[in-house]
Amino acid sequence: MSSPLDLADARPGPAFTVTLDGREIEALPGQTVAAALWAAGVTSWRTTRGEGRPRGVFCGIGVCFDCLVTVNDRPNRRACLLPLAPGDVIRTQEGTGHDD
Amino acid sequence: MTDRPHLAVIGAGPAGLAATLAAAARGLRVTLVDSAAEAGGQFYRQPAAELRARRPQALHHQWRVWERLRDDLRGHLRAGTVRHLTDHHVWFVERRSADFVVHALLGPEQEDPATVRADAVLLATGGYEQVLPFPGWTLPGVVTAGGAQAMLKGSLVVPGRAAVVAGTGPLLLPVATALAAAGVDVAALVESAAPRAFVRHLRPLVSQPGKLAEGALYAARSARHRVRPLFRHAVVEAHGTERLEAVTVAALDAEGRVRPGTGRRIACDTLAVSHGMLAHTDLAESLGCRLDGQVVHVDDEQRTDVPGVWAAGEATGIGGSALALVEGRIAGRSAAARLTGTEPDRAEWATALKSRTRLREFAAALDGVYRPPAHWSEQVTDETVVCRCEEVTAGAVRAAVEDLGAGDPRTVKLLTRAGMGWCQGRICAPAVAGLAGCRPTPSRRPFARPVPLGVLARESDHPTEEGPS
């Protein structure tokens, strides 16, 4: 079975580790938060303010703000735009992200 | 060199790149301002450099056109005739008495401001996808078709293992094909348009043999990946609790209504959905440019009705990358001539004008074929969230219209908060208008993206940085 990395013949540098809610996740240099989470099989990292429903990527290009997430204690970052750095601490954002 | 007129081009997609190259080749100083780390826009979105993709062309169509744009841009950057500001998210273009100031936030933090002074601006702000709501469309795993494409092109990732690609428009086939090539099992391609519609719009379609060949190429590729297109069908519901597990697909009748009893369930963890494209017009609107419906009005030189402001590409009408390239070239040439006080040489761009006419006719024909089903709102239950940001349901929108007498999207917004959230109605506006039974209206957002209060507070008391010298 082919993968997107194979398809584009990508040879990224060594993977590094970030955490999602304390769990270690491998990320590749150049990947956004959303990309690393997708690659790790995670599709939601926020719950809505009203109904507490799960959300993740929708538009993928920074327009819809559905993919908001808390990174290094800062809430409301757009996961589809934000590149990751080694050691980044990603947390599922509950509601506005300002309550915890 | 500093006395040469300075043009700021906003957006480095096909239109912005073509405009930049045309203007720079004719003697203007050009600053190309773009939000991405690399030029290309959405259509030619490049994998992040650190991923070191040796075969990015596997994700792209018309790669040679891109190579030429990229190489020409590099030449101008080396020669110092073009400055390329990456990671600059433009939130406002200020028109002053004798010039313009482009206000941007530096990415990815988008906290620190940057400004560019220019004699004229060229808006090549592109577009984004329209998705109409249906039950379950807020479940994780439901993404826009273009979003799936962007994540694949830019980050080399896919959203899941089994996908349904659905909606309407020329984007569905390339997205289905790309996902399949990247290892995703594409269980179905669901297109609400009927093959008969193509026949009705045949003449302009056959006038673009290149475009038809492109379509045939995608069809052949998708056939190789065993992607089965289902015409005149629609996804009527997405199922799942915490994430997408399946969709229900049903047949549509000639009027675009769901045929009762035709629904069937398809298991999938990804739904890539699109109902067409919308133009980014915020910057044009805040400059006071006239709109035609939902797109920026331009004359035959791609000038808006505001002196010193040109526009090209999807912002002036959804038409795809080939049209964006032609419009960008015309706009860049016009700007180069007008800013140096000369009349553009029409003989020089006669061919471009002819291609633009043909490509616009082609786009209009596609627009006639690819329409969301006329009765899409009948499938939207009262419980369905319409405004994703503020979690406003279709029931609340209907109550605002039927019980409270709202007769336009703005009144619905004031009564329900639909469109007041983070995205400022960019996603829900067509749905709210449709449910309220009125035409979508321009939103008149003062700023094109959220701006920190600290940046706004500083604007009044710091001198504007000069453009490049």
Query: Residue A85: pLDDT above 50?
Result: yes
What are the φ and ψ backbone dihedral angles of B6, each rounded to 5 degrees? -115, 120
User: Where along chain B do its domains lie?
Assistant: 6-128+278-344, 131-275, 380-463
B52–A10 CB contact, under 8 Å: yes
β-pairing verdict for B295-296 and B113-118: unpaired
B108–A81 CB contact, under 8 Å: yes
Domains, chain A, in order of start with CATH, read: 14-94 (3.10.20.440)
CA distance A35 to chain B (A): 6
- Set of chain B residues whose Cβ sits within 8 Å of the Cβ of A52: none
Which residues partner with B279 through β-bridges? B127
Query: Residue A59: pLDDT above 80?
Result: yes
What are the φ and ψ backbone dihedral angles of B340, each rounded to 5 degrees? -105, 15
CA B324 to each of CA B87, B366, B368: distance values in angstroms, whole numbers, following the listed order: 22, 16, 19
CB atoms within 10 A of CB B251: 17
* Spans in chain B with pLDDT lower than 70: 1-2, 199, 201-209, 212-213, 216-224, 460-469
pLDDT for B202 equals 62
CA distance A41 to chain B (A): 7
- Set of chain A residues whose Cβ sits within 8 Å of the Cβ of B58: 7-9
**Does residue A52 sit at the B interface (CB-CB below 8 Å)?**
no
Over residues A79-98, mean pLDDT? 94
List all residues of chain B from 253 to 312 with a beta carbon under 8 Å from chain A: 269
Beta strands in B100-232 (DSSP E): 100-106, 113-118, 120-123, 127-129, 142-144, 162-167, 185-191, 229-231
Contact in structure between B316 and B14 (CB atoms under 8 Å)? no
Q: For the domain made up of B6-128+278-344, give the CATH fold.
A: FAD/NAD(P)-binding domain (3.50.50)
CA distance B314 to chain A (A): 16
**Does residue B55 sit at the A interface (CB-CB below 8 Å)?**
yes
- Set of chain B residues whose Cβ sits within 8 Å of the Cβ of A54: 139-140, 242-243
Interface test with B, best of A2, A47, A66 (most B CBs within 10 A): A66
* Nearest-by-CA chain A residue for B449: A63
Partner residue facing A59 (CB), from B52, B147, B154: B147
- Set of chain B residues whose Cβ sits within 8 Å of the Cβ of A81: 107-108
Say if B6-128+278-344 and B380-463 have the same CATH topology. Answer: no
Q: Is the dihedral of CA B17, B20, B23, B26 positive or negative?
A: negative
- Set of chain A residues whose Cβ sits within 8 Å of the Cβ of B388: 55, 58, 64, 66
A63–B423 CB contact, under 8 Å: yes
pLDDT for B228 equals 74
Contact in structure between B329 and B20 (CB atoms under 8 Å)? no
Alpha carbons B326 and B278: distance in angstroms, whole number: 19
Instruction: DSSP letter for A41, please.
Output: T
A30–B388 CB contact, under 8 Å: no
B183–A7 CB contact, under 8 Å: yes
β-pairing verdict for A89-91 and A16-20: parallel
Cβ neighbors of B347 (< 8 A, separation 6 or more) are: none
- Set of chain A residues whose Cβ sits within 8 Å of the Cβ of B134: none
Structure tokens at B190: 């669901």
**Does residue A14 sit at the B interface (CB-CB below 8 Å)?**
no
What are the φ and ψ backbone dihedral angles of B188, each rounded to 5 degrees? -165, 150
List all residues of chain B from 385 to 404 with a beta carbon under 8 Å from chain A: 388-391
**Of the CATH numbers 2.40.160, 1.10.3470, 3.30.230, 1.10.10, which one belongs to the domain with range B380-463?**
1.10.10
CA distance B47 to chain A (A): 8
* Nearest-by-CA chain B residue for A67: B140
A4–B421 CB contact, under 8 Å: no
- Set of chain B residues whose Cβ sits within 8 Å of the Cβ of A37: none
Interface test with A, best of B149, B151, B241, B386 (most A CBs within 10 A): B151
List all residues of chain A from 17 to 36 with a beta carbon under 8 Å from chain B: 28-32, 34-35
B427–A48 CB contact, under 8 Å: no
A4–B152 CB contact, under 8 Å: yes
Which residues partner with B152 through β-bridges? none
What residue has token string 């584009």? A8
B50–A57 CB contact, under 8 Å: no
List all residues of chain B from 59 to 98 with a beta carbon under 8 Å from chain A: 59
The CATH code belonging to domain B131-275 is 3.50.50.60
Alpha carbons B375 and B234: distance in angstroms, whole number: 11
pLDDT for B467 equals 43
Q: Which of A29, A31, A30 is nearest to A39 (CA)?
A: A31
**Does residue A7 sit at the B interface (CB-CB below 8 Å)?**
yes
* Nearest-by-CA chain A residue for B391: A50
Rounded to a whole number of angstroms, the CA Rg of chain B reads 22
pLDDT for B391 equals 98
CA distance A40 to chain B (A): 10
